[in-house]
Structure 1
Amino acid sequence: MALTLAALAYPGMLGLDTVSSSQTRIIAQTQWGPLTEGDRDFVVKVRAAGLWEYPLGQIGLQKGSSKGVKTASEHLVDGHAALDASCRKIAPMLNITLPNVASPQQEGFVTQLKGEDGKQFDTDFANILRMTHGSIFNTIAKVRSTTKNSLVRALADQANDTVLDHMTVMEKTGLVDFEQTVFKQTTPPKLPSSDLTPPAPPAGQPEVVLTPPPTATSSSLDLNGLGGGGGAGTGTAPSPSPSPTVR
């Protein structure tokens, strides 16, 4: 039974790839509405994005050689700290296991940029992050328009605003090659699933927390008023016990 629950709580493929061929399959009934595989995987994707983009924002603040890159870095740190707090807030409510490190592909972006300086760093920073944000932008819209879970819907709202902001500040650097960026985000490389999968955290490992900057302007989700489900007949009434029933 424990293995079955673990398999439901942590998806087989994450990162920027499609995590399952059964995205609409309901895996739990919760007081906030049914939770599908796609809903669960979206929460994990948002968490994984922050685990590499937040530290990359910190690196950009140190290594960026232009005002535009430094401004974009500030937005990365601020936005992903708030999104991460929201993920960590709703994940236990929905019985979702979150990763503590990003996927190998995502970590590879960080390693690449750590080894660069000056104009090369600025250019690759802007283009990689514009590409990755563009890749998930359509996913957010789909989740927002189809989910019946009010917690996931609220996270999608926040993620939409954050990702749009990050795409915009990358574009404002003046370094984005749109032809190459759009091609890469619409024609991603065929990587093995292991490269796209953040590893599940070892049992008992403390949860990684992305600390908001002192000048934070973004905040995590306010869950007041989100006790209802996602439509007539899809959720149960709010109760003191938020744990979903896993099928």
Structure 2
Amino acid sequence: MGGAMTLTLAALAYPSVLGLSTVSSSPSRVIADTQWGPLTEADRDFVVKVRAAGLWEYPVGQIGLQKGSSKGVITASQHLIDGHAALDTTCRKIAPMLNITLPNVASPQQVGFVNQLKSDSGKQFDTDFANILRMTHGSIFNTVAKIRSTTKNSLVRALADQANDTVLDHITVMEKTGLVDFDQTLFQQTTPPKLPDSDVTPPPPAVGQPEVVLTPPPTATSTPVDIDGIAGGGNTGGGNAGPGASPSPAPTAP
């Protein structure tokens, strides 16, 4: 696949700012011309954002299965693991096709969310779990919609379709816990703290470090994008669900 792409040097660079902040000074700038359509800075950063989200939300789902004290939180935890395993499979498939470097660790801000939930217990865990995850998914939901409506790259468009369904599902299961404080959560979502770039940027992977794989659960219902269908059809966009990834050792929470 790589030989069919004409890449600019900028496409090799690791994204400068990731996480939940605005990630690019020139999001519409085309950094690579590929057989699936032009790749912009915003497209590249979106793929990395989806990967980074899974690197902390998947472990939080594992924690929720152990510490959740309500049926709603247990169900939401299962959805986190299921959904992000499938999204991660898609990210890891399309990233090398588009010459995008993916992180292996979430951003310090995201790791902070994990650590906070690790320290919680009982009702406090359930409440923080529901509100943190509702806030973060609400924040990324608008980004997904913007990428889906503007990208000219069919691989990124297919990932955005999958992410839209997954994020909406996760927003819904958080709300169904009955624990979301909408006044507080929506305020935090629309008025995020001004954090330094280093707090919202996942570190690049160390040279030679094995790629972290988010293993689908045995009862997975979410499925990754059928990349072969998109690649075989050229720059046509869209994508149907395909088989899940082969089981690999699950990561531990950061």
If the length of structure 1 is used for normalisation, what is the TM-score? 0.90
How far apart are residue 223 of structure 1 and its match? 1.7
Unpaired segments ≥5 residues, structure 2: 1-7, 238-254
User: Could you say which residue in structure 1 is the equivalent of 2:82?
Assistant: 78
Please give the alpha-carbon distance, in whole angstroms, between the structure 2 residues aligned to 1:167 and 1:81.
17
Change over 3 Å in CA distance of 1:6–1:34 after alignment to 2: closer
Match status 1:217 vs 2:221: yes
Q: Which amino acid aligns with 1:180?
A: Q
Q: CA RMSD in A?
A: 1.4
Tell me how many residue pairs correspond in the alignment.
Answer: 228
Answer whether contact 2:85 2:215 (CA < 8 A) is retained. yes
Deviant stretches of 4+, over 2 Å: 4-9, 227-231
Give matches, 1:85-124, under 5 Å.
85-124=89-128
User: Could you say which residue in structure 2 is the equivalent of 1:229?
Assistant: 235
Answer whether contact 2:67 2:121 (CA < 8 A) is retained. yes
SS at match of 1:154: helix
Answer whether contact 2:10 2:31 (CA < 8 A) is retained. no
User: Could you say which residue in structure 1 is the equivalent of 2:16?
Assistant: 12
User: Could you say which residue in structure 2 is the equivalent of 1:64?
Assistant: 68
Answer whether contact 2:88 2:214 (CA < 8 A) is retained. yes
Greater RCO (Cα-Cα under 8 Å, separation 6 or more): 1
Q: Percent identity?
A: 83
SS at match of 1:92: helix
User: Could you say which residue in structure 2 is the equivalent of 1:128?
Assistant: 132
Q: Which amino acid aligns with 1:229?
A: N
If the length of structure 2 is used for normalisation, what is the TM-score? 0.87
User: Could you say which residue in structure 1 is the equivalent of 2:251?
Assistant: none
Which of 29, 36, 40 does residue 44 from structure 2 map onto?
Answer: 40
How far apart are residue 226 of structure 1 and its match? 1.7
Unpaired segments ≥5 residues, structure 1: 232-247
Q: Which amino acid aligns with 1:207?
A: E
Please give the alpha-carbon distance, in whole angstroms, between the structure 1 residues aligned to 2:213 and 2:21.
24
Change over 3 Å in CA distance of 1:7–1:33 after alignment to 2: closer
